[in-house]
Structure 1
């Protein structure tokens, strides 16, 4: 058998009674310790608020684009059953979209070559291709020429690209 623990002398017992637990330091505060960090936090909050307001203003300003793209998608589904009506509706949608973005006095009176020139100038990098311009010109005041399904789909793609990429001057 193992030997029992040796008997402690009185000095050792007194020393053991005088021991206390290890004291842990208080947790470190997450609050900034200097005013510079507080100023930086306020500045970052203001910057985030400003960015959020700009994003919201941009989102609301481009609402007409989202609505026009949704309507264009609905019109595209009619291309197979009523192509002349769908193309006429797309041309009207393009005019309404331009009227939503620019002042009425700048857009409402445009027709023919002036309308196509306006669309090309404001259409961003892609502009309006020649085949789409020819379809627009035919649909405005003349009896429409025969359009194939591929031409109509290309016309819809050109309008979608113009709606997405046109730039309105401030």
Structure 2
């Protein structure tokens, strides 16, 4: 499977870019999945739901199935967080997996950047970043620049990078 990342600081536009890239690339006929790294307090389950109650009771894994989707949740229970390399083989094979986050993982990435965040570009200290998508033109870039809203061009770049 081919993987490509979208990284950047909080509020830099990563999730919006991911959403638009998934729509664009899937409309081109490619199968695409996503893997998002979240912070420690993120929970996909809600208190009071049956699956939450199962986890709260001590279940290591809870699978939820419905006519529209299924989900498998695994409680780490003080075990270390699995690496990206450990998680990727658990995904169903597709043409492309887009990964949000995982700034320091070794896969190639595009950096989403908004000047309003006041944060510096990551590209200057991260050799895995192959391009920058921003709402302002950064100076002295060592990688290609794309307007953050030019999703077709960003998608073209990513697909060429992964050989699709």
TM-score (norm 2): 0.25
Relative to its length, the structure with more strand (as a share) is 2
The TM-score, its normalising length taken from structure 1, stands at: 0.24
Q: Which has the larger radius of gyration?
A: 1
Higher RCO structure (Cα 8 Å, ≥6 apart)? 2
